[in-house]
């Protein structure tokens, strides 16, 4: 059922959200979480604890201002509900949460150190953090968003919250869940991009990669509705993907390209880079089936490019892929 839903409606829903639509999932059924993760590959949410009695959920303090604007202005600080919580929800996506009291180890490495070449000198330390269950979570995608409401019984209060959430994203009076970077921080992002471009032109790929990553780390978990900032992040991820391709790291290059395409699915250069990464991964597959699967994925990425025949390099690559796939299929 989930696969059929994804096949028939998945791409339409994802495009709808990207263009500014909002979708609410008001159910605690496990199938709902599976649908969400199928639609939005970057979501890492997992099922938490089931709360069969009405339980108090506190507002996520980091997002308090935005949550109150959506669900009740400055009047709401908590809610009571029977629901199935979510875990592994990034802080910036939480609305209401509950500390489970479970402690887990978390190894922390500064992003600057992790991205540096001299990993061996990195100071690594371990901290103990609490696991949280989340009853309402919101995930931004493009100009729109999706929300999970884990209500076990879909009561009137949940219906009211869903209504408020949908109205809050109205084009006439949008309340954008998430924060934009400050002007000072965004200026540092631009500076990092310029430095990266300079290094790249000088063919210093490692230095370019390091500069681009510095720009990306400035975002952290903050990605609000500002289209300029989203496009800049997508551009940085696209540049990282190109650097990684030149460093013969197709797995990482593909991951970076897909992150950029999550923000802007129409980036032709990024689609081309994803196709090249798929082809490189295909060459590493010892089995013909896996080899062909990666080539087909590369071909599909190129088919998303608008006016593909006008993009000469990509179109020539597309034709080569077609011939390779045909030869491979004849051998099956």
Higher pLDDT, 207 or 331: 207
Mean pLDDT of 196-211: 96
Instruction: Determine whether 28 is exposed, middle or buried from the number of CB atoms within 10 Å of its CB (0-12, 13-18, 19+).
Output: buried
CB atoms under 10 Å from CB of 191, counted, come to: 14
How far apart, in Å, do the first and last CA atoms of the chain sit? Answer: 31
Strands 94-108 and 125-141 turn out to be antiparallel
Q: Write down the mean pLDDT value for the chain.
A: 81
- The answer to whether 274 and 300 are in contact (CB under 8 A) is no
Task: Give, as one character, the DSSP assignment of residue 151.
Answer: B
pTM above 0.75, yes or no: no
Q: Where are the alpha helices (DSSP H) in the chain?
A: 2-5, 11-18, 30-39, 64-71, 111-115, 156-168, 183-201, 205-217, 227-246, 250-263, 268-283, 288-303, 312-331
Residue 305: CB partners within 8 Å, gap ≥ 6? 268, 271, 272, 311, 314
Higher pLDDT, 50 or 205: 205
For 110, phi then psi, to 5°, come to -60, 145
pLDDT at 9 over 50: yes
Mean pLDDT of 264-291: 91
Q: Which residue(s) pair with 46 in the sheet?
A: 87
Confidence of residue 101 (pLDDT cuts 50, 70, 90): low
Confidence of residue 115 (pLDDT cuts 50, 70, 90): very low
Helices 227-246 and 205-217: crossing angle in degrees, nearest 10, is 150
- The answer to whether 122 and 116 are in contact (CB under 8 A) is yes
Give the tens place of pLDDT for each residue, 118-130: 323 333 333 333 4
Higher pLDDT, 301 or 229: 301
Give the tens place of pLDDT for each residue, 236-264: 999 999 999 999 999 999 999 998 988 88
Mean pLDDT of 299-319: 93
> Measured in whole angstroms, how far is the alpha carbon of residue 268 from the centre of its chain?
19
Higher pLDDT, 174 or 68: 68
Give the tens place of pLDDT for each residue, 25-77: 877 677 788 888 888 877 888 888 888 888 899 998 888 888 888 887 656 78
- Tokens 């609000």: give the residue: 224
Higher pLDDT, 222 or 196: 196
- Tokens at 109, concatenated: 């490495």
Please state, in angstroms and rounded to a whole number, the distance separating the CA atoms of residues 48 and 100: 9
Structure confidence at residue 114 (pLDDT): 37
Please state, in angstroms and rounded to a whole number, the distance separating the CA atoms of residues 160 and 331: 59
Higher pLDDT, 131 or 107: 131
């Amino acid at each position: 059922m989930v696969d059929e839903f994804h096949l028939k409606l998945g791409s339409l829903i994802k495009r709808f959200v990207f263009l500014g639509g909002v979708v609410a999932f008001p159910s605690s059924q496990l199938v709902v979480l599976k649908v969400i993760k199928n639609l939005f590959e970057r979501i890492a949410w997992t099922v938490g604890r089931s709360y069969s009695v009405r339980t108090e959920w506190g507002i996520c303090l980091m997002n308090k201002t935005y949550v109150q604007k959506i669900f009740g202005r400055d009047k709401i600080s908590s809610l009571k509900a029977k629901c199935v919580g979510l875990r592994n929800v990034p802080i910036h996506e939480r609305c209401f949460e509950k500390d489970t009291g479970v402690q887990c180890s978390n190894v922390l490495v500064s992003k600057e150190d992790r991205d540096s070449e001299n990993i061996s000198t990195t100071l690594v330390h371990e901290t103990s953090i609490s696991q949280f269950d989340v009853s309402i979570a919101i995930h931004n995608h493009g100009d729109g968003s999706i929300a999970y409401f884990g209500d076990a019984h879909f009561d009137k209060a949940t219906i009211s919250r869903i209504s408020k959430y949908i109205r809050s994203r109205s084009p006439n009076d949008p309340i954008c869940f998430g924060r934009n970077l400050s002007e000072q921080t965004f200026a540092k992002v631009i500076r990092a991009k310029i430095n990266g471009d300079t290094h790249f032109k000088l063919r210093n790929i490692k230095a370019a990669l390091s500069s681009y990553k510095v720009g990306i780390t400035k975002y952290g978990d903050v990605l609000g509705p500002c289209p300029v900032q989203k496009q800049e992040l997508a551009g940085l991820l696209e540049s990282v993907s190109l650097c990684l391709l030149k460093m013969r790291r197709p797995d990482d290059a593909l991951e970076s390209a897909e992150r950029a395409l999550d923000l802007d699915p129409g980036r032709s250069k990024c689609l081309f880079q994803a196709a090249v990464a798929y082809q490189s991964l295909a060459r590493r597959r010892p089995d013909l089936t896996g080899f062909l699967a990666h080539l087909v994925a590369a071909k599909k990425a190129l088919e998303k490019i608008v006016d593909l025949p006008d993009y000469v390099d990509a179109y020539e690559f597309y034709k080569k892929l077609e011939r390779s796939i045909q030869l491979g299929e004849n051998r099956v």
